[in-house]
Amino acid sequence: MKKLIIIILILIPGLTSATTEQTTGGNFSAKIEPANPEPNQEVAVTLNSYSIDLDRSQVSWFINNQAIKQGIGLKTHTAAVGDLGSNQVWRIVAKSQDGQTLQKIITFRPAEVDLLWQADTYVPSTYPGKALPTSESTVKMVAIPNILTTTGRRYDPKKLVYRWEKDFNFMKTQSGFGQDSFTFTSDKLFGSNKIKVTVSTVDESITAEKSVTVPIRTPFIALYQYNPLTGPIYNNLLSREINVGTGLFSIIAEPFYFNNPAIKNNQLTFDWLVDNESLQLKTPSSRQITFEGGRNKGQVNLGIKAVNSQNTLQNASYNGIIRITNNETGF
């Protein structure tokens, strides 16, 4: 008796499953669509064999020992798989006209793993969105598996084995027992990185897999009004035309998605330009300026260029107009 066991891993957002096949009696393959269904999802199984002619054979289908259907040439069946952590067993028996019998057992055992990631790039503390990676940013991935035993007990994530891949390359040094996190540097050029994690029990009886594509974005500058007493006014995002009335008006430039270490180490330089002339500020990393309005109307062109001195591919610019009550400015 020949016994063949195949482990199939799922690749769907947030959900994965372990599917096993056992075949006896001869060549008897099955195409499973989707190949790795999520819990309670419908799956279609289509049979094929080089040993017998299935179109002229009696085919019987059983799910969890319950007869589903039987007849000549029944090569396809569709049904929903079970709940998370359950075992649903499909048994298919095919008998040819000359008496040869093939049997295939497919076991669906759904498991799930979520894959979270966070880039070490800058966003304001009150920003509701996600910090995204840019050129050569540090990104941390964390796998959160939800793998159950047959008794419903959840496996301790630190007692599972993790295999990490970046752009189809096996990351050996960060893979292994209990290695539920993975840190990498995004590509230098803008595009994306594909990260894949395979999580399995020590005995490999259950395996789950997840892949995500991590986008590499372009940094940008956003301007907000700044109150010297309370700080940035983040509900007042300034447009390309900024109106300044009588008195002082302070602006802060927020460098979205630049590397945090560059900001902390003052390696992010700002060049502020008014009517194409650079302002002489106290420090090149200054992100704030103040305009003073008067009695007469006027306007100036405002430009900003921000560059990470350690990685010049991380750069951004802003161009707008400041409408003020006169042409006198103070910084």
pLDDT tens by residue, 78-98: 999 888 888 899 999 999 999
Give 20 or 305, the one with higher predicted confidence: 305
| Angstrom distance (rounded) from CA 216 to CA 211 | 16
Give the residue extent of every domain in the chain.
6-110, 112-215, 220-324
Please report the sign of the dihedral spanned by the C-alpha atoms of residue 45, residue 48, residue 51, residue 54: positive
Mind listing the pLDDT tens digit for each residue in 200-211?
889 887 878 889
**Domain 220-324, CATH 2.60.40.10 — does that match?**
yes
Q: Are 134 and 121 in contact (CB under 8 A)?
A: yes
Question: Residue 20 CB: number of other CB atoms within 10 A?
Answer: 18
| Amino acid symbol at 72 | I
Confidence band for 9, pLDDT divided at 50, 70 and 90: very low
| Angstrom distance (rounded) from CA 138 to CA 324 | 41
**pLDDT tops 70 at residue 70:** yes
**pLDDT tops 90 at residue 169:** yes
**pLDDT tops 90 at residue 62:** yes
Q: Pick the most confident of 57-71, 140-154, 261-275, 296-310.
A: 57-71
**pLDDT tops 50 at residue 3:** no
Q: What is the mean pLDDT of the chain?
A: 86
C-alpha separations of 253 from 91, 225, 257, 318 in Å: 64, 9, 13, 9
CATH of 6-110, one of 3.30.2350.10, 3.50.50.60, 2.60.40.10, 3.30.420.40: 2.60.40.10
Confidence band for 18, pLDDT divided at 50, 70 and 90: low
**Confidence at residue 13, expressed as pLDDT on a 0 to 100 scale:** 35
Among 90, 118, 109, 121, smallest CA distance to 22 is for: 90
Q: Pick the most confident of 179-183, 231-235, 237-241.
A: 179-183
Half-sphere exposure of 223 (CA within 13 A, CB side): 25
Among 263, 258, 250, 245, smallest CA distance to 291 is for: 250
**Averaged pLDDT, 60-72:** 96
95 - beta bridge partners? Answer: 58, 101
| Cα 69–chain centre separation | 41
**Confidence at residue 329, expressed as pLDDT on a 0 to 100 scale:** 47
**Averaged pLDDT, 146-173:** 92
Matching CATH topology for 112-215 and 220-324? yes
| 112-215 topology per CATH | Immunoglobulin-like (2.60.40)
Give 105 or 10, the one with higher predicted confidence: 105
Confidence band for 2, pLDDT divided at 50, 70 and 90: very low
**Confidence at residue 324, expressed as pLDDT on a 0 to 100 scale:** 73
Question: Residue 241 CB: number of other CB atoms within 10 A?
Answer: 11
* For the chain, percent of residues with pLDDT exceeding 70: 90
